[in-house]
Structure 1
């Protein structure tokens, strides 16, 4: 019996059978179904699924962050000395565990939806990332079999308000205020099954703001790959079918572009090779 789909989660929970049916639909004669341009794509993940986010996971981005943080602390050493120190810092990260934090499905929005630049805070930033959607959950998943749990890939943009990240007199990071407001996770437009992505490290990530390229990096710059991220996350969290795992942002955030923060009226266009395009307009609350 061929599966019929009521929602994304039903597809993911019976992924092997779903792939057979999805191939049939992909091979349907032209003209059947609804033209894509007539649809508003919603996030292609289940709204009750867990959202996990990898952080500080690209070499070039991590080096940029390190230099920026040192300058922010008043470090006046020569640029070459700081860059050498940043390189060593990035190499040490590669030998440690990944850094993963939790997102919220309530922050998800569609690939063409508006992004609302909520206050408090004005330093709204972008972080386009390769996202992984799981077809099988589990605990303590070995690295060697981690890819068997991956249904496919999509695009997610982890919008972050930088000037509320570190509350005064607290000494801790507030990711809820910074990243998890409604519309702050544009995701989609669709999931590309893993079998159609021969090597995720060969993909390329691009983000434009009002037509100007801000992020332009290959996934091959990633520190901890999908296999390591899925395995590590499963040591901490009981993963489930339908969960989404963001793999980290490459270089090129607003701070690298002279603190060019997002403002109402900006249009972000995010693209990852073969995974589609997002186009999100920034609006005031």
Structure 2
């Protein structure tokens, strides 16, 4: 199933199933009528209902009414993730992003070339060994999520805005102390994650060796969508074609495979001594060349970013200036 959250003509946010690309099945309305269990009134309820909930929805869809897609507005399929974790799993991206960060820092000094040489001599261009040894991630803000075709508002202090092409896992859970062998059993589905970033702010603040703060933590900064595709429709989540476009210009075409740590291994590691809950979102990291940072190419106000992942769809967002 391709699960969405939509706003209907009455202004109500509802979970639904996208059918054929142009119709939506209203899960909340159908489960309120059938009397066969709890009303599944939002996406978290759908996820928490698990396989039995999906089977119930499938039965109701057989004779249920649908709504034209043009009559509703798609929101983020998971408007309020229980938690957001964003990993860094692709070596090409990590290497190029580190080099870009060093260049940005050097540009702020009186002698950028001399500063770059000092950075190289100090080993600052190298990936720390721990990255190869275990999955690494930061926790994002689940309250700052937007969906497809939503505007992303540039933070007032940001000059260098960027997008990130990422595959994300939605956890069904609850699950704890998983292994790489059973970790995928905890996955409910997959979606697209665009971790919009203010690279100038990020480059400055991460000199303190904390994770990103205001470089990524701002309203509208986490775009998710257009849907959550349930696991039964994704045969191999590490073999999906991934594409990024800016204003229709293709910036990268790659695949979801090739991460330093597998999806299963990453989920297993995160679950050690920590319960993963229904609705947790784990992004696998930006693919190589999957953002502008790597080439020091940034977004202008009005630019439209489209991220596409095979089997999931297209997540489209426009960057706008603060106050627009």
Residues 267-282 of structure 1 correspond to what in structure 2 (within 5 A)? 267-282=304-319
Aligned partners of 1:9 and 1:46 also within 8 Å: no
Residues 13-92 of structure 1 correspond to what in structure 2 (within 5 A)? 13-24=48-59, 32-45=65-78, 47=80, 49-55=82-88, 57-68=89-100, 74-75=116-117
**CA apart distance, 1:170:** 6.0
| Alignment CA distance shift 1:94-1:48 (3 Å) | closer
The one-character-per-residue Cα deviations of 1:33-91 (angstroms, maximum 9, x if unpaired) are 11223322211125151111112x11321232344456655249xxxxx9xx97xx59x
Please tell me whether residue 105 in structure 1 is matched to residue 148 in structure 2. Answer: no
| Alignment CA distance shift 1:125-1:228 (3 Å) | same
- Number of the residue aligned with 2:133: 96
- Number of the residue aligned with 1:79: none
- Number of the residue aligned with 2:201: 164
Residues 122-133 of structure 1 correspond to what in structure 2 (within 5 A)? 122-133=159-170
Q: Greater RCO between the two (CA within 8 Å, min separation 6)?
A: 1
- Number of the residue aligned with 2:43: 8
Figure out how many residues of one structure are paired with residues of the other and give that number: 273
Q: Matched residue of 1:206: which SS?
A: strand
Structure 1: which 5+ runs fail to align?
Answer: 77-81
**CA apart distance, 1:236:** 5.5
**CA apart distance, 1:251:** 1.8
- How far, CA to CA, are the matches of 1:28 and 1:157 in structure 2? 36
Q: Which structure features the higher share of helix residues? A: 1
Please tell me whether residue 135 in structure 1 is matched to residue 168 in structure 2. Answer: no
Structure 2: which 5+ runs fail to align?
Answer: 1-35, 107-114
Q: Which structure features the higher share of strand residues? A: 2
Q: Matched residue of 1:164: which SS?
A: helix
What's the TM-score once normalised by structure 1's chain length? 0.86
Bigger Cα Rg? 2
